[in-house]
Amino acid sequence: MKVSEIDDLSSVDAAIMLPLNNAHAKETSALDEASLTALIDMAFYARGIDRGATAFLIALDQDATYDSPNFLWFKACRESFVYIDRIIISSAARGQGLARSLYEDLFAAAKHAGHDGLSAR
């Protein structure tokens, strides 16, 4: 997989991403379109494959106004950070290196932005 195949996601992609997100609500959390749109809009990093229909990763930095208890803990303890809120790969696309590609792309974006710490929920 090439990094060029990774799409920057925007709020218009929320409807495309929603079925994949909610199929994995047990591991992440169920969202409606408005909540997913808000999450994408505040994200430091929101990128995926096939506009998020096949895979996506959403991460926030310290500037986000996110009310997740886990995120708020990092915000209280770290001055600068990137918080990985969710990474989801469709069942049909697993084992193809998509998660690795998304993580590598996130790490490069975080380094470019001057972040030195990454955290996952």
Structure confidence at residue 117 as a pLDDT band (50, 70, 90)? low
Name the residue with higher pLDDT: 33 or 4: 33
pLDDT, one tens digit per residue, over 52-111 is: 999 999 999 999 999 999 999 999 998 889 999 999 999 999 999 999 999 999 999 999
- Is the per-residue pLDDT at 15 higher than 60? yes
Structure confidence at residue 22 as a pLDDT band (50, 70, 90)? very high
Structure confidence at residue 1 as a pLDDT band (50, 70, 90)? very low
- The reply to whether the predicted model has a pTM over 0.75 is yes
Share of the chain above pLDDT 70, in %: 93
| Cα gap 61→7, rounded to integer Å | 19
- Is the per-residue pLDDT at 118 higher than 90? no
CA angle 86, 70, 107 (to 5 degrees): 45
Domains of the chain by start residue, with CATH: 3-120 (3.40.630.30)
Name the residue with higher pLDDT: 118 or 120: 118
- Is the per-residue pLDDT at 119 higher than 90? no
